[in-house]
Structure formats: structure tokens, C-alpha cells
Structure 1
Amino acid sequence: MAPVFSHGDLRLYLLSLLDEGPRHGYDIMQALSDRTGGTYTPSAGTVYPRLAKLEEEGLVTKSVDGRKTIYEITEAGRAEVASRAGDLKNIEEGLADSVRLIADEVRGSVREAMKSLRADLAAATRAEREDRNQQVRDVTDDLRSLSREQLHRAEVAISEFRAQVRTDLRTHVAKGGTLTASVVDELATGLDEVSRTITRTLRN
């Protein structure tokens, strides 16, 4: 599940980001997304009111640079970040645990899907070979008809797999989950491996 900032945690985390240096609003939202591995992407309606509150409290100042509003932490803000170093560490550890958990869940789902696909394709390949042996004395038209039938089976299997994985990934993201680059890379590598296996099988 996506990490959720507890009451007051987002306020402190915003201060910690500004403690690293001045930032404009979009940069702050992007930093929050990056730091949480994409598991938390706040809206402008979430970030700007909190920045305004921090400004009211004298912890943040803002200045206009062209079309951008730059936010900068004050000495009072730095003092609060320093005094709550323990709380900030707990927040960061909690977010890191959430990111790792989500990544593990996605990798596990992808591995299971790839394992199932390999088994289905292997079974389809075995069935095709058995059918070929049984039909070896049949006329060419019968062999072509059988190949078309097996091609249809393979296309159905691939379509069902694609639809299932796509649904799972979209549902995961819609619920606030994330897909890291490493997970997508693993998915691409797995699909490429299956593709090569099928190619080698068909050439045999």
C-alpha cells in the first residue's frame, strides 16, 4: 500500500526538503514523489496550503522569481527540523519500508505471472508437437489448419496474459501503488527471455 503521512508528518517533511535548499512548489511535489518512490504524489491542493501555514508560522518565506514562487526555510524552521531529527528519521524509515514492500509485491506478482506464462507456453508447445506427430501423414492442408488453430490458441493465451497483467498493474497504481524502474526492467527482461525461448522452440 502507499505510505500515508501521519498528522504533522508531511509538515515536518516539507520543512526537511526546504532545509536542503530553496525550492518552488512543483519541485517540492516532485521531490516528495521521488523520495517515496512514486508511492505518494501530492496535489497542489495538499502542498500549497501547508506551505502557506508554514509561512504564517514564520518557518518559511517565499519570494517570486519570474513566474515561479520560491520557498525558503527560515532559521526558526531549521531549528524545528534540528529539534525533531528523531521524528524525521522515523518518517524516512517508514517511507523506505513502504517503498521496499511495494517493490517486493510487484516483483513477486511479475515473477508469478511469468512463471505461469512459461508453463502455459511450454504446455502449448508440447501439445503442438504431439499434434504434429499424430498428423504427420496428413495432407498439407490439414497441417496448415492445425497450425492456424494452435496459432489462435497462442494468441488467446498471450492476450489473456497481457490483459491480466495490465489490469493488475493499473489497479495497483490506481490504489496509490508505484512501479519502479527496476520492476519494469525486470518485466521487460522476463518477456524478452520468454520471447527468445519461443523463438528457439519454433526453430527446433
Structure 2
Amino acid sequence: MSPVFSHGDLRLYILSLLAEGPRHGYDLMQALTERTGGTYSPSAGTIYPRLAKLEEERLVTKTVDGRKTVYEITDAGRAEVEARGGDLEDIQAGLADSVRLIADEVRGSVRDAMRSLRADLAAASRDEREQARSVPADDPRVRSREQLHRADAALTDFRGRARAELRSHVARGGELAASAVDEIETALRHASEAVSRAMRG
């Protein structure tokens, strides 16, 4: 669930971030993502027009520092932040509610994953017992099924833990870059190849 900034709220929130210190545009986008627990990630097309409007209203100034344009709040901008302290508190409360909601969703996903894992393990155990009664204990198929059960449990456990870790990371405001997902896909591909090699003996 993404927090919804009412008309003018995002403008005020940007001013409040600049009241903490000068920032460049990308830094403001990161700060908004972090402060909302990853539930809101504004684009450059959202941030820069608002910064231009604030500059036009003489509430912020900008200076070029190398390749970066740094924005700094003016005395007039700081006065507006102070005058609208109550509005800012309401915005902060709304964002806190959004972060709590996403945290609840993550906890729910973890609980669902654990319930699914327990159900899968119980079903696999029942199947194994039923098959064991109909096949001699020294049959290679019995041993293979036992190992298959181990492998299934390991894979299910891995999926649940990895999914919960990724969701928790994003919910805490951590960045999940495309390069990180590329690494995860590469690692999973290598793991799949390792499984194939193990099957060939």
C-alpha cells in the first residue's frame, strides 16, 4: 500500500527534508523512499517540477556542485515549515501508518510461508509412511523418496526464508537494485546447474 500525499503535502514534506540540510534531487528521492519504509518511491518527474516551483516561490535556492544540483531551503521556506508544523505532524502520522501496514503485510507473508511449509512437510510425511508400508524397506525407491523429501523440505525452507528477507529489507526502506536481483538470478541458475550435476552423479 503506497502512502497518498494530499494536495500540497508532498511539497511541504520536501521543504521539511530540506530544512534538515541541503540535498540534491536524487538524495531527496532516496530520503522519501526511506522515510516511507519503501512504500513510496517518487520519480524524477515528480520531484524536480516541485523543486522548480519551490525555487520560483523563493522557498529554496539551488547551486551547481560539479554534476549535482544542490537545493537549500531559504528563510522564507523555513518559516513556512515552522508555520505549518501541525500539517507536517499529520503527514508524518499518515506515513507511519503506511509503514506499519507494510510491516504487517510482511509478517503475514512470513506466517503464511511457515504454515505452508508445515502443511507440505506433514503431507510429505504421510505419503512417505503410506508408501513405506507397500514397498520393502531395502528397496532403493524408499531411500530415494526419503532423500527427495529432504530436498523438498530444504527448497521450501529456502524459498520461505529468502522471500521473507527480501520483503523485510524493502519494508525497512532498503534499496533492492536491479544488479542485486541479477546476482540472485545468477546464483539460482548456478544452484539449478548444481542440482543437475548431482543427479548425473
Q: Tell me the TM-score normalized by structure 2.
A: 0.73
How far apart are 1:127 and its partner, in Å? 2.8
Residue 5 and residue 78 in structure 1: after superposition, are their counterparts in 2 closer, same or farther (change >3 A)?
Answer: same
How far apart are 1:126 and its partner, in Å? 3.4
Give the partner amino acid of 2:171.
T
Is 1:12 equivalent to 2:8 in the alignment?
no
Give the partner amino acid of 2:102.
I
- Equivalenced residue count is 169
1:74 paired residue number: 74
Output the CA distance in 1 between the equivalents of 2:131 and 2:25. 64
- SS of equivalent to 1:179: helix
Output the CA distance in 2 between the equivalents of 1:179 and 1:67. 29
Output the CA distance in 2 between the equivalents of 1:27 and 1:123. 50
What are the within-5 Å matches in structure 2 for residues 18-57 of structure 1? 18-57=18-57
Residue 133 and residue 181 in structure 1: after superposition, are their counterparts in 2 closer, same or farther (change >3 A)?
Answer: farther
Bigger mean CA offset, 111-120 vs 67-76: 111-120
Give the partner amino acid of 2:77.
G
How far apart are 1:113 and its partner, in Å? 2.0
2:141 paired residue number: 145
C-alpha offsets along residues 50-83 of structure 1, whole Å, 9 cap, x if unaligned? 0000000010000011111110000000010001
Give the partner amino acid of 1:24.
H
Note if contact 1:124-1:154 (Cα within 8 Å) is conserved in structure 2.
no
What are the within-5 Å matches in structure 2 for residues 97-176 of structure 1? 97-135=97-135, 138=136, 140=138, 143-149=139-145, 151=148, 155=152, 162=159
Bigger mean CA offset, 110-119 vs 48-57: 110-119
Identity of aligned residues (%): 68
Residue 47 and residue 19 in structure 1: after superposition, are their counterparts in 2 closer, same or farther (change >3 A)?
Answer: same
Give the partner amino acid of 2:141.
S
2:87 paired residue number: 87
Give the partner amino acid of 1:179.
V
Structure 2 alignment gaps of length 5 or more: 174-201
Output the CA distance in 1 between the equivalents of 2:96 and 2:109. 20
Output the CA distance in 2 between the equivalents of 1:139 and 1:46. 67
Give the partner amino acid of 1:77.
G
Within the candidate set 166, 171, 188, 1:180 is matched to 171
- SS of equivalent to 1:103: helix
